[in-house]
Each structure stands twice: as C-alpha cells, then as structure tokens.
Amino acid sequence: MKSDAQELPNITRVLRQARTRCDTAHIPGFTAAFGERSAPGITQEETARLAGVSRRWYNQLEAARPANYSDGFLCAVRRILDLTDEEWHIVYHGARGQVPAAAPVSPLTALLPQLIRDLVVNSHTCLYVSDHRWDVLASNAKNLEIFPWMKYGINVMEWALCWPEARTQLIDWKEEWALPMIAQLRVHAEQYRSDERLQQVVATIRSDSVARKLWDDPALPSMTHPASHRPRRLYLPRRGGQEFSVRFLAFTPMELPSCRLMAVTAAQSV
C-alpha cells in the first residue's frame, strides 16, 4: 500500500518541501513583517501575504486544485519560495497545463556593448543597466545582494509598483518609491507613445488596483530620473528587521542614450 506522502500531487509535494526549507532570512522585510524566525520554514499564511493573495487562494494552489492562477501570482510564489528551475516547471505546468514562458528580453540587450556589460558584471559596486522600458539588460552580483528578484528578469517598474513583496522590502513604499517612480514612468510613457513594450509595462502597472490609484495622484512629483540626493529606505536579505538607506545614481551610456547605467550606493544602516 502506498503512503499518503507518495500519493501527494506533484505541486503539493514540491511546494510543501520548498516552504519547509525556505530560509526566511533571504526574504527582505520578512522579519519586520512577521518577526524573528530561528528555524527555516514559512507558513501558508506568510507565503500568501507575501504573494498578495488570501491563504485560501494559496492553499488551493498547494492542494493542486484547478483554478485560474495568474502568471503574476505563480511567479511571486516562485520567488518567495526560491523554487529551482525543475520545481518551477512542475508547479507552473501543474497549475497552467503548459510550460512557463521565458521572461521578456529587451531587443537592446544584444546592442549593449560588451565592455559596458563587463564593467557591470565585474564591478564591486552595485550596478545594473536598464532600457527606457525599465527592462534589465545587465546586472551584477552586488546588485542581487540588494534586489534578488532581478535574477528572474523582472521589469523594474513592474516589480516595484505591482508586486506585494516589493511593498514588504521597500520602506515608506508610497512616498519614497512609488510616487517618484510613477512620475518617471509617466514621462517616458508620453515620450515613447508608440513603443509597444513600454505601453505594455504601463498597462500592467495600471491593472494593479493600488498602483492605479497613484497614477493620477495630485502629489505626483515632477521627476525624469532618480534624485541622487534623495535616499530611500529598504530592508535587505539576511539583515533581519534592520533598516538601510540607499541612493541611486543614473548615468546615460553614450552608445545607448535611451538606456541607463544605474549605480546603487553602498547601503547604510539607518
């Protein structure tokens, strides 16, 4: 006779194992949101909150019950539980009945000069390059120490403005992060009206109920790029509930004037 464990659906087995081994220290802002954790593991309730859904909705996924699970929700679960590529394919195929699509790749990626790419990858400073749509073209290990989600190829604006885990990591999310970033996005959206990918990013952000309310906020500042003199606070992986402050410096590569080389200064404890 087979044991109950052997009869578990693949999704259930994979997600339970992932939650059990999950090191919450790697999740920025987890300690501030849920308190100190001395042992590995994350509950269904915590996973659901970080993914921005109800525990009931997450439980349906883990129980392998058919439902209309969005790509955004599934991708959030992938990042929160740090699923391996094999686990991700099992969960996505089990939930959607198809293999997951690759993350969008900016056509400017191929045009990024190799010397600039090498500069980013080999630098000991936190650097990344994004295009005018905020799709990431290159990033380095130091940057992933602050923003681990970048390894998944997520658009910067979409992550910061739409994903619930961003609101867990980014302190004073609305005033320090969301309003300045939406202001920058609106400038680009008007400048590149015929750019389909950028308009897709705008549509994704406006489809989020929280971000949509800020789109026409009367307090929206006039900004075209991050202000280097204005620090922003956030939580870092493996730093518990300690607050840190970072500054962003934006540079324009002359060979790709629509792109930005972003330097994030060393995080300072608040």
Sign for the pseudo-dihedral over CA of 38, 44, 49, 55 = negative
Is residue 12 pLDDT above 90, yes or no? yes
- 233-269 burial code (b ≥16 CB/10 A, e <16): bbbbbebbeebbebbbbeeebeebeebbbbbbeebee
Structural domain containing residue 55: 4-96
* Joined tokens for residue 45: 């309730």
Strands (E), 131-181: 136-139
Same domain, 191 and 235: yes
Residue-wise pLDDT for 76-116, tens only, equals 999 999 999 999 999 999 999 999 988 778 889 999 999 99
Same domain, 177 and 215: yes
Same domain, 145 and 67: no
**Distance in angstroms (rounded) separating the CA atoms of residues 163 and 103:** 16
Same domain, 128 and 58: no
Q: How far apart are the first and last CA of the chain?
A: 58
Q: What is the pLDDT of residue 270?
A: 63
* Joined tokens for residue 262: 């972003």
- H or E element, residue 127: strand 126-130
Residue-wise pLDDT for 169-205, tens only, equals 999 999 999 999 999 999 999 999 999 999 999 999 9
Instruction: Report yes or no on 22 lying in a domain.
Output: yes
Residue-wise pLDDT for 209-228, tens only, equals 999 999 989 889 988 888 88
Residue that terminates a domain, selected from 96, 122, 150: 96
Residue that terminates a domain, selected from 43, 62, 96: 96
Same domain, 144 and 247: yes
Instruction: Report yes or no on 104 lying in a domain.
Output: no
Residue that terminates a domain, selected from 96, 126, 141: 96
Same domain, 84 and 129: no
Same domain, 195 and 231: yes
> How many domains in the chain?
2
* Joined tokens for residue 176: 């320090």
Torsion of CA 262, 104, 83, 143, to 10 degrees: -10
**pTM, to two decimals:** 0.88
For the chain, percent of residues with pLDDT exceeding 90? 81
